[in-house]
A and B are shown apart, each in its own frame.
Chain A
Amino acid sequence: MISDIENLKDEIKKTVITDKESLEAFRLRFLSRKGKLQSMFGNMQNVPKKDRSRVGKAMNEVKELAETKFNTQKKALQNKKKTRFKATDDLTLPVSPEYAGSLHPLTQTENEMKNIFLRLGFDVADGPEIEDDFHNFTSLNFPPDHPARDMQDTFFIRKSDKKEVQDLVMRTHTSPVQIRLMKDQPPPIRSVIPGRVYRNEAVTAKSYFQFNQMEGLYVDHKVTMGELIETLVMFARLMYGSDVKYRVRPSFFPFTEPSIEMDVWWESDSDGQWLEILGAGMVDPNVFEACGLDPETYTGYAFGMGVDRIAMLRYGINDIRILYENDIRFLDQFTG
Chain B
Amino acid sequence: MKISFNWLKNYVDINLDSREIANKLTLLGLEVEQTESFGADLEGFIVGEVLNVIEHPFADKLHLCKVSTGEKELQIVCGADNVARGQKVPVATVGSTIPKPMDDGSSLVVKKIKLRGEDSEGMICSEMELEIGQDHSGIMVLDPELQAGTDLSEALKLVKDTIFDIGLTPNRPDASCHIGVARDLAAVLQTDLNNPYKNTPGETEPLDEWIDIEIRDPKQCHRYVAKIVKNVTVEESPPWLKNQLRSIGLRPINNVVDVTNYVLHEIGQPLHAFDYEKLNDEKIVVQSYKETRSFTTLDDIERNVPAGTLFICDGKEPIAIAGVMGGLNSEVTRATQHVLIESAYFDPSSIRKTSKHLGLQTDSSYRFERGIDPNLARRAAERAAELIVEIAGGEVLNGCTDNHPVKSLPQKVGFRLKKLNNLLGTKIKIDQARKILDRLEIETRASGTDELQCTIPTFRPDLTREVDLIEEIGRIYDYNNIPSPESTPFYSPAPISDWEILKNRIRSIASRLKYKEISSNSLLSEREEGYFSSEDEQIRTLNPVSQEATTLRTSLLGGFLKILQFNLNRNAKQLRFFEIGNVYRKSDKGTWIDGIEEHTKLLLGICGFRSTENWLDKAQYFTVFDLKSDLESLLDQTSILDQLEIEFHSREELRYIQNDQVLARLIKIPDHLNEVFDIKLPAFAAEIDLTLLNKAGFGKIEKTYKEVPRFPTFEYDAAYIVDEKVTAGRLSEIIHQTAGEILHNLEVFDVFEGENLGKNKKSIAFRLTFLDPNKTLTINDVEPIVQKVTKALEQMVGAILRS
Contacts and interface: CB of A to CB of B under 8 A. Distances in A.
Interface in B403-422: 422
Contact of B516 (A94, A102, A123, A157): A102
B572 A328 contact: yes
Nearest to B465: A285
Contacts of B422: 222, 224, 299
A282 B423 contact: yes
Interface stretch (B139-147, B153-161, B517-525): B517-525
A261 B480 CA distance: 11
A131 B593 contact: yes
B31 A249 contact: yes
Given A123-B497, A151-B543, A328-B572, A102 B511 contact: yes
A237 interface: no
B262 interface: no
A247 B29 CA distance: 12
Interface centre among B352, B494, B598 (most CB of A within 10 A): B494
A326 B520 contact: yes
B737 interface: no
Interface in A103-161: 103-104, 106-107, 118, 121-132, 145, 150-152, 155-159
A155 to B, nearest CB: 4
B467 A326 contact: no
Contacts of A325: 563, 566
B545 A257 contact: no
Given A99-B514, A229-B479, A252-B29, A129 B493 contact: no
A282 to B, nearest CB: 6
A282 B576 CA distance: 45
A178 interface: no
B563 A326 contact: yes
Nearest to B542: A156
B495 A123 contact: yes
B424 interface: yes
A209 B483 CA distance: 39
Interface stretch (A36-44, A70-78, A195-203): A195-203
Interface string A142-186: 000100001110011111000000001010000000000000000
Contacts of A128: 582, 591-593, 596, 598
A96 interface: yes
A4 to B, nearest CB: 60
Nearest to A114: B500
A250 interface: yes
Nearest to B548: A203
Given A103-B517, A124-B497, A209-B545, A224 B479 contact: no
A323 B596 CA distance: 28
Contact of A156 (B426, B483, B543): B543
A35 to B, nearest CB: 48
Contact of A107 (B517, B563, B591, B592): B517
Interface in A259-280: 259-261
Contacts of A157: 539-542, 552
Nearest to B419: A296
Contact of B549 (A102, A209, A225): A209
Contacts of A132: 593
Contacts of A328: 516, 567, 572, 575
B479 A101 contact: no
Contact of B475 (A94, A100, A150, A258): A258
Contact of B519 (A123, A124, A201, A324): A324
A124 B485 contact: no
Contacts of B616: 95
Nearest to A166: B593
Interface stretch (B85-93, B166-174, B280-288, B756-764): B166-174
Nearest to B570: A327
Contacts of A107: 507, 517, 519
Interface string A223-234: 011110110000
A152 B352 CA distance: 14
A125 B567 contact: no
A209 to B, nearest CB: 5
A309 interface: no
Given A93-B615, A103-B511, A257-B471, A145 B352 contact: yes
Contacts of A101: 510-516, 576
A151 B356 CA distance: 12
A252 B523 contact: no
B521 A210 contact: yes
A257 B469 CA distance: 10
Nearest to B169: A252
Contact of B522 (A129, A225, A331): A129
Contact of B576 (A99, A121, A190): A99
Contact of B541 (A155, A201, A261, A326): A155
Nearest to B499: A126
Contacts of A318: none
24 contacts: A94-B615, A101-B514, A103-B517, A121-B492, A130-B598, A132-B593, A145-B349, A145-B352, A155-B544, A191-B494, A196-B581, A198-B522, A203-B546, A222-B422, A224-B485, A225-B426, A226-B482, A247-B27, A248-B479, A249-B26, A257-B465, A258-B424, A328-B572, A332-B516
The 3 closest A-B pairs by CB, nearest first: A226-B425, A250-B29, A224-B425
Given A250-B475, A326-B520, 7 more contacts: A99-B574, A209-B523, A230-B485, A257-B470, A285-B465, A299-B422, A332-B516
Interface of A: 93-96, 98-104, 106-107, 118, 121-132, 145, 150-152, 155-159, 168, 170, 190-191, 196, 198, 200-203, 209-210, 222, 224-227, 229-230, 247-252, 257-261, 282, 284-285, 299, 323-329, 331-332, 335
